[in-house]
């Protein structure tokens, strides 16, 4: 089949030790008959465990977005070592025809196990100064996994620009983002943003450890960003599996907002200068959740340093890159409509971030159990999922958000006009206002979320004020 077509693959999601992605985060559309309709250019893959008695046990099947050595028209299994701690014998394949991963053929054994191809280990961690030493598993012919995946590292997610693994670095549990050669600029940009002065001192910015480059067996460059491991994964994944109470939801969203407000702020401390930075791809997938359920901003591959009011002239090479960036679902009306204020890029790009922040609030508070007293909490939904499904097109979003001025609908349970609900809904609406200049700043949104954390929700949604709340804060609520 042509790479321009959607690929239909057999689908099973039960990887050992990894929580399955919700359907709205799979790299394709999961169908009811045990198949998945993959995105353009994808291949199919399968992973089996070979038991001691020779029986093959299926672990997982689905879409494979790393295309290296996936040209076969059928599933030819090769031996795959997943981890130094996993003792089983695993078999992997990826292939390029519809449903080619539904059945398999075992490859003949190789004569020898090739030597390790080590990664450069002379790099210094840019923030911590610690040495890093990532070992690779043996390279095996035909194996798309073993040619570049680090030993003992487990695939935990995929994004537009790379795959994410969990593993260990100097006995420390970490996550690694692997970028292919086609996404080098996103790697360079993300590494650059993580190294902005003062950024790593903030509690709501993902912790960067180091970055490095390496070469695959066939000579292609690949790029790694190593960062702190966040056990609950991204916010959308956590909320798809769990509901949260009022205080937890407020603290999670306040942490995101606090991180964004810091990102947007220009700072001078001694001889260090932190420029304002626009995230430009703020989504619930680009927010990570710590073990204590506090949240951090991550994924800065599209972020941009802001250097004060800066006009962007039509026709400039950078204008399109500045004005049409991000995840379609979270694009603001002015980005979708081609009406971004290029006379003042700094303010305009901050306003784009705040629009997405409002959608993130909606996704989060719909999973707050205290806001649905006496009834079931709705299933998790991405913004506009009810209207446009899992894969909205740019044109669909443009029609809905720009022409119809539509926003996610508030649940029926929120129609009660209590002070708490009015404040919450006003905050969302003030973030996603159609008029970009009328939106809250991230700093103002942070203040509002902080005030909400001081409010104790009751079964009637009436706010019970914390006795330590100031009179000014009580008046504002």
Q: Looking at residue 388, what is its pLDDT?
A: 93
Per-position DSSP letters for 392-405, written without gaps between them: --HHHHIIIIIIS-
Question: Helix or strand or coil: residue 23?
Answer: helix
Greatest mean pLDDT among 114-118, 209-213, 406-410 lies in 406-410
Mean pLDDT calculated for residue range 163-171: 79
- At 445, give phi and psi (nearest 5°): -60, -40
Q: According to the annotation, is 177 in a ligand binding site?
A: yes
The bridge status of strand 221-228 relative to strand 272-274 is unpaired
The residues, ordered by sequence, that sit 6+ positions from 292 with a Cβ below 8 Å of its Cβ are none
Closest CA to 72 of 37, 104, 97, 41: 97
Domains, the chain, ordered by start: 1-105 (2.10.60.10), 119-229 (3.30.200.20), 235-377+392-476 (1.10.510.10)
Q: Looking at residue 341, what is its pLDDT?
A: 82
Place 416 in a pLDDT band, splitting at 50, 70 and 90. Answer: confident
Q: Note whether 119 and 100 are within 8 A (CB).
A: no
Q: Looking at residue 321, what is its pLDDT?
A: 58
Mean pLDDT of the chain: 79
Place 5 in a pLDDT band, splitting at 50, 70 and 90. Answer: low
Least confident interval from 53-62, 67-76, 166-175 = 67-76
Burial class (CB in 10 A: 0-12, 13-18, 19+), 24: middle
Q: Is the pLDDT of residue 244 over 80?
A: yes
Mean pLDDT calculated for residue range 226-231: 91
Rounded to two decimals, what is the model's pTM?
A: 0.68
Distances (CA, A) of 128 to 122, 158, 432, 467: 14, 26, 38, 42
**Extended strands (E) in 233-345:** 267-269, 272-274, 276-278, 287-289, 295-297, 304-306
Q: Is the pLDDT of residue 389 over 80?
A: yes
pLDDT in tens, 127-141: 333 333 443 322 223
Q: Token digits for 260?
A: 């964004």
Write the DSSP symbol of residue 265.
Answer: -
CA 312 and chain centroid, separation: 29
Distances (CA, A) of 413 to 311, 370, 429, 449: 45, 11, 17, 21
Q: Note whether 332 and 355 are within 8 A (CB).
A: yes
Residues with catalytic roles: 281
Q: How far apart are CA 318 and CA 329, in angstroms?
A: 23
pLDDT in tens, 74-96: 888 887 665 545 556 788 888 88
């Amino acid at each position: 089949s042509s790479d321009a077509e959607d690929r239909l693959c057999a689908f099973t999601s039960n990887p050992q030790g990894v929580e399955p992605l919700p359907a709205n985060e799979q790299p394709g559309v999961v169908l009811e008959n045990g198949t998945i309709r993959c995105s353009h250019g994808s291949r199919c893959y399968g992973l089996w465990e070979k038991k001691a008695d020779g029986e093959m046990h299926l672990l997982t099947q689905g879409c494979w977005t790393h295309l290296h050595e996936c040209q076969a028209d059928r599933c030819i299994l090769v031996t795959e070592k997943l981890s130094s701690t996993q003792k089983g014998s695993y078999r992997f394949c990826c292939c390029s025809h519809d449903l080619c991963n539904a059945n398999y053929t075992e490859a003949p054994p190789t004569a020898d196990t090739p030597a390790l191809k080590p990664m450069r280990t002379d790099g210094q961690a840019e923030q911590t100064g610690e040495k890093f030493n990532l070992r690779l598993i043996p390279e095996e012919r035909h194996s798309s996994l073993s040619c570049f995946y680090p030993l003992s590292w487990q695939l935990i997610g995929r994004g537009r620009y790379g795959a994410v693994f969990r593993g260990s670095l100097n006995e420390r549990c970490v996550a690694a983002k692997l970028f292919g050669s086609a996404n080098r600029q996103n790697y360079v940009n993300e590494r650059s943003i993580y190294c902005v002065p003062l950024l790593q001192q903030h509690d709501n910015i993902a912790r960067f450890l180091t970055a490095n480059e390496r070469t695959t067996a066939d000579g292609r460059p690949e790029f790694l960003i190593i960062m702190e491991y966040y056990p609950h994964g991204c916010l959308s994944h956590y909320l798809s599996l769990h509901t949260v109470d009022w205080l937890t939801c407020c603290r999670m969203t306040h942490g995101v907002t606090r991180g964004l407000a810091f990102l947007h702020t220009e700072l001078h401390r001694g001889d260090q200068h932190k420029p304002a930075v626009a995230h430009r791809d703020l989504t619930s997938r680009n927010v990570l959740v710590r073990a204590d359920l506090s949240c951090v901003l991550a994924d800065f591959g599209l972020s941009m340093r802001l250097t004060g009011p800066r006009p962007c002239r039509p026709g400039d090479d950078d204008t399109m890159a500045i004005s049409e960036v991000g995840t379609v679902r979270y694009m603001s009306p002015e980005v979708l409509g081609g009406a971004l204020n290029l006379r003042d890029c700094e303010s305009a790009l901050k306003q784009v971030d705040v629009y997405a922040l409002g959608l993130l609030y909606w996704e989060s508070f719909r999973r707050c159990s205290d806001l649905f007293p006496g009834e079931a909490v709705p299933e998790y939904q991405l913004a506009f999922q009810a209207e446009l499904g899992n894969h909205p097109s740019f044109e669909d979003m443009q029609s809905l958000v720009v022409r119809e001025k539509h926003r996610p609908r508030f649940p029926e349970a929120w129609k009660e006009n209590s002070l708490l609900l009015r404040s919450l809904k006003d905050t969302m609406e003030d973030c996603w206002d159609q008029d970009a200049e009328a939106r809250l700043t991230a700093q103002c949104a942070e203040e509002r979320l902080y005030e909400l954390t001081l409010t104790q929700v009751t079964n009637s949604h009436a706010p019970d004020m914390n006795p330590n709340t100031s009179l000014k804060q009580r008046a504002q609520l």
